[in-house]
Amino acid sequence: MRQMLLVSTAMLSWACLVKAETPVPETVAPGAKLTEVYVDETIFFEGPTWDPKGQKLYFTAFHPQQKNQQILKLGPDKTASVWLDQSQGINGTYLLNNGNLVGAQAYGHRVMQYDFGPNGPETHLTVIGSDLWNQPNDICQTPNGDLYFTDPDFNNRQTSAVFRFSAGGELTKIISDMPVPNGLITSRNGKTLYVGDSHLLLWRSYPIDSEGKVGPGQTFFDPDTENRDSPDGMSIDERGNLYFSGRGGVWVVNPSGKSLGLIAIPEFCSNVTFGGTHGRILYLTCSGKLYSLKMAVRGGQFPHTESP
């Protein structure tokens, strides 16, 4: 998330934002178009997660004028309902291996776990927290149960970190060499960690060893584009391709770091996830809008496998 601020951009058509040399990724379904599924120009949307059991999309909402943060549940016919009010800054969310929802709580300085109750979470569990953190921003889980989350220092770029909270309950600071780590996700086999940097405006990768520790990082993706929108959230598909929001929309990048193309977005795009009955709908949270896009591939959490 870009310091929880609304971003104003020109409303250009999707087609004109795609340069001739930047193709629409082949993972997008043929002929598919961006579809508005929920609109509120006063809200900055973030943190989408699909609940495959309940067949619902959940996403976070920041109301700058109201100074409130919520988790919304998408309803039919371009509607959404408040599923959790006063979330204390839940930003990035992720579907846990146990089927619950985990969220990075920026203002509460915690990692929270919720069950998918029909009218709101029936359980609120603090997984871990610390008043020494800046503002936990995004989070993911590996197949072995380890949690990885970012804690960016947006203002001073001095104390940013990425943490690992192991399945056994051990907290470790694993990355401290990124000015502003933002979105993150691991490869489907849990052997590589991908992290976007909102200051350097690029994405890095880190190898994860068998004990969950990370090795030296390297630049994984840095597209040649005039657009300097900040890297933010990300997702992954069944082939191991990464979906990076930022720098003009959502870049689709294969596990070797090669661009497969750009899904251009008129607004600033904060995050992305797969959902739908068969896992072939891409949901994109943006400034003021939530979009959907039909895909030719399924999301990487439908379910985890040993592929890259």
Q: Which residues of 72-95 are buried (b: 16+ CB within 10 A; e: fewer)?
A: bbbeeeeebeebbeebebbbbbbb
With left for phi above 0 and alpha for psi between -120 and 50, is residue 259 left, alpha or beta? beta
Q: Supply the CATH number for residue 209's domain.
A: 2.120.10.30
Is residue 112 in a domain?
yes
| DSSP3 helix / strand / coil % (the chain, rounded to 5) | 0, 45, 50
Q: Has residue 307 got a pLDDT over 80?
A: no
Report the mean per-residue pLDDT for the chain.
Answer: 92
Please say whether the dihedral angle defined by the alpha carbons of residues 42, 57, 90 and 28, taken in this order, is positive or negative: negative
The predicted pLDDT at position 1 comes to: 55
Q: Give the confidence band of 237 by pLDDT, cuts at 50, 70, 90.
A: very high
How many structural domains does the chain have? 1
Please say whether the dihedral angle defined by the alpha carbons of residues 47, 190, 107 and 182, taken in this order, is positive or negative: negative
Q: Has residue 4 got a pLDDT over 60?
A: no
Is residue 231 in a domain?
yes
Q: Has residue 23 got a pLDDT over 80?
A: yes
Q: Has residue 164 got a pLDDT over 90?
A: yes
The predicted pLDDT at position 301 comes to: 83
Is residue 126 in a domain?
yes
Token pair recorded at residue 125: 């569990």
Q: Has residue 34 got a pLDDT over 60?
A: yes
Note down the domain range covering 88.
14-294
Is residue 300 in a domain?
no
Is residue 7 in a domain?
no
Q: Has residue 44 got a pLDDT over 60?
A: yes
For 239-255, write each residue's pLDDT tens digit.
999 999 999 999 999 99
The H-assigned helical ranges of the chain are 14-17
Is residue 306 in a domain?
no
Q: Give the confidence band of 65 by pLDDT, cuts at 50, 70, 90.
A: confident
- Altogether, the residues listed in the chain come to a count of 308
Is residue 3 in a domain?
no
Q: Which amino acid is at 196?
A: G
Is residue 186 in a domain?
yes
CA distances to 70, 108, 217, 259, 299 from 84, rounded to whole Å, are 5, 14, 36, 37, 25
Q: For residues 249 and 262, what is the distance between their CA atoms, to the nearest angstrom?
A: 7
